[in-house]
């Protein structure tokens, strides 16, 4: 398992859908893949971006904050093997970067994202509509459109689907 770069080192990188939130991040991941690393997108959010190099080095990358990002690097065989076992299970169900980027990840406009945030926050329809400056009828129509866009049969399923696609991060 693993992609070999030009130096013969095997690099596998597993990231959450949220890692594709902007074009700069997508471009970076494309470049990493072009250099020989295998990049997959997890079907579920991950607490850390995980990189395994030659099954000897493990890097866990914390969430990026302005000006700083924390990394944990280890070569401890026990830790690398333990994380690798979990990594492999997630890897098997993840989608290759190129396939993921070719997929139909719907574009949500600002209004749809606001409705999605209101749904995620658990507001009642009345409260969400008032907060967004929409009539109740318009808010409910926007929720129905969002569910159709996300191919969801329920509001709960819409939230799960949005998370899978990295639209909530």
CATH of the domain at 149: 1.10.10.10
- Each residue's pLDDT tens digit in the chain (169 positions)? 455 445 678 889 888 887 777 788 888 899 999 999 999 888 767 777 888 899 899 998 877 666 788 889 999 999 999 988 888 888 877 777 877 777 756 667 788 888 988 888 889 999 999 999 999 999 999 999 988 888 788 888 888 777 766 666 5
**Phi/psi at 53 (5° precision):** -115, 120
Beta-bridge mates of residue 53: 11, 57
> Which of 48, 71, 102 lies at the terminal end of a domain, its last residue?
102
Stated pTM of the model: 0.53
Q: Is 169 domain-assigned?
A: no
Q: How many domains does the chain have?
A: 2
**What's the count of helices (H) and strands (E) in the chain, helices before strands?**
7, 7
Beta-bridge mates of residue 59: 51, 73
């Amino acid at each position: 398992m693993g992609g070999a770069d030009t130096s013969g080192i095997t690099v596998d990188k597993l990231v959450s859908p949220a890692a594709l939130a902007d074009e700069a991040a997508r471009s970076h991941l494309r470049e990493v893949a072009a250099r020989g690393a295998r990049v997959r997108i997890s079907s579920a959010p991950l607490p850390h971006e995980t990189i395994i190099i030659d099954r000897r080095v493990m890097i866990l990358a914390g969430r990026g904050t302005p000006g700083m990002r924390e990394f944990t690097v280890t070569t401890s065989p026990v830790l690398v093997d333990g994380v690798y076992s979990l990594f492999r299970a997630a890897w098997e169900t993840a989608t290759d970067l190129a396939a993921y980027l070719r997929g139909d990840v719907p574009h949500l406009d600002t209004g749809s994202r606001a409705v999605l945030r209101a749904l995620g926050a658990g507001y009642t329809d009345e409260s969400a509509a008032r907060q967004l400056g929409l009539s109740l009828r318009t808010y409910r129509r926007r929720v129905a459109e969002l569910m159709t866009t996300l191919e969801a049969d329920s509001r709960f399923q819409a939230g799960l689907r949005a998370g899978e696609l990295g639209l909530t991060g």
